[in-house]
Amino acid sequence: MTSAQSLTDFDAEMQHRLTDGPTPTPVHPRPQPPARWRQAKVIVTRACWAGCEFCHFSRFVPLALDKTVPPVLGIADAAAELQRAPAFDMVKIVTGLSFQTPLEYFTHLISTLRQATGRPVQAFSAVEVDHLARRLACSGRDILTEWKLHGLDRLGPGGADLLVPTVRPSLARYRISVERWLKIHRVAHTLGLRTAAGLMLDARTPAPDIIEHLNHLRELAEGLDYLELQPLEPDHTALAPVRPPQLDQLLRVAVAAKQLLPNLPLHIHRRHIRSADAEVLLADAGVDRVIETVVEVEP
């Protein structure tokens, strides 16, 4: 059997487990819950022109010169608020796509929050890097090099969504391509930056798409810090009729992710866990950490 055949057979087995296999059950009477990872979330702005179907975070702002642009976060105010916040393990910076905010603002924000908190900074995603590179007519490498020099530790998991070329246009018309997302992460790794990846899924996400997504991440496994399960949050989005995944589906996906990427830590946000029992079951299926936002700072 060739290695290609072996990989195909393995993928087929994973798809069977995701679709038809039994729901994973604990191997211990009461396994330990996953570790907590506390983050301080810093929101630059929710204004964005992309209008992704699944987005519950941003507020659509058309690309029109006569539209009022919402203000961005004040850097000094954000640093002061984080210094008063409960203890946290990481600063996470997120934003919408803007044509007004200069690169120097983002660089100064990373540097200031790194120095003010002394905690690692995870900032933005491949989507924001690509957007800035196109807007400023420079390379993603230039932007990431600048940010690394000023304290960036990790590129965030956003923009992965579902790394399936035939699916991405239906979820986000203007989203960067699968290959572009992968390329920006590869560039980050060559610069010594770590990155993270997400996996967005809903109740209808087919097993082959999940496997294809995970296989793309295998190409980056050496430089990835973690994979975050991101159940769809359809309320107040264009996908409101779509149901989020149920617990049994999340358990199957967690098991498959650990089979395909055994050395990659698996995370999920606390807001997606409905009970203490669900948290324990997810831990037994392979979830290593539960992310908890202890403070959220925005304009």
Q: Where are the beta strands (DSSP E) in the chain?
A: 35-43, 47-48, 59-60, 90-94, 121-123, 154-155, 194-201, 224-231, 266-269, 289-297
Residue 218: inside a domain: yes
What is the pLDDT, as a whole number, of residue 70?
A: 72
Residue 11: inside a domain: no
The model carries a pTM of 0.90
CB 198 within 8 A of CB 225: no
Which residues constitute the domain of residue 70? 30-297
What is the pLDDT, as a whole number, of residue 22?
A: 66
Residue 23: inside a domain: no
Total of domains in the chain: 1
| pLDDT tens readout for residues 150-176 | 999 999 999 999 999 999 998 898 999
Say which CATH number the domain at 211 has.
3.20.20.70
Residue 14: inside a domain: no
Q: Is 241 exposed, middle or buried (0-12, 13-18, 19+ CB in 10 A)?
A: exposed
Q: How many CB atoms lie within 10 A of CB 222?
A: 9
CB 240 within 8 A of CB 278: no
Residue 9: inside a domain: no
Hunting for tokens 């603002």 — which residue is that?
105
pLDDT beneath 70, residues of the chain: 1-10, 21-31, 63-69
Residue 231: inside a domain: yes
